[in-house]
Structure 1
Amino acid sequence: MLWLSEVLLQEHDLDSFDGLCRKIQERAAQGEMFFRIDVKPPFDDTPEDWEDRLEAAFYKPVKR
């Protein structure tokens, strides 16, 4: 299970919400099956619909 707080702690070089979305997509592509949102991302550019966008990023396949 992938926890949002775990991603934020492990990927401390992230500096934007878009970067976080890309990282969530990468983790999903690596085989994570479930995604839990347990904290709000601390970025200035975090949109109001951030939860929906993170879930969409998790279920959207990574384009290579």
Structure 2
Amino acid sequence: MAKILLTFKNNEKEKAIEKFLEDKISATAYLKELVWEKMNEKKDNAVVEQKKEIEDPANNFD
């Protein structure tokens, strides 16, 4: 199991992020879901790219 420590700087953007996460019931669970979605998005995009290459190899043939 890994742990991540978030450190926020004293600027408006990071203060807004910190406030947003404080309003969540479980900021940790929320961040885990975001990471999970991003991981799956990359996998889905890789599968789509592979399918594009395999679909019709003669498509560009003149």
Question: For this structure pair, what is the TM-score category when the shorter chain's length is used for normalisation?
Answer: 0.3 to 0.5
Q: Which has the higher contact order (CA 8 A, sep 6+)?
A: 1
TM, length-normalised to structure 1: 0.33
Structure showing the higher strand proportion among its residues: 1
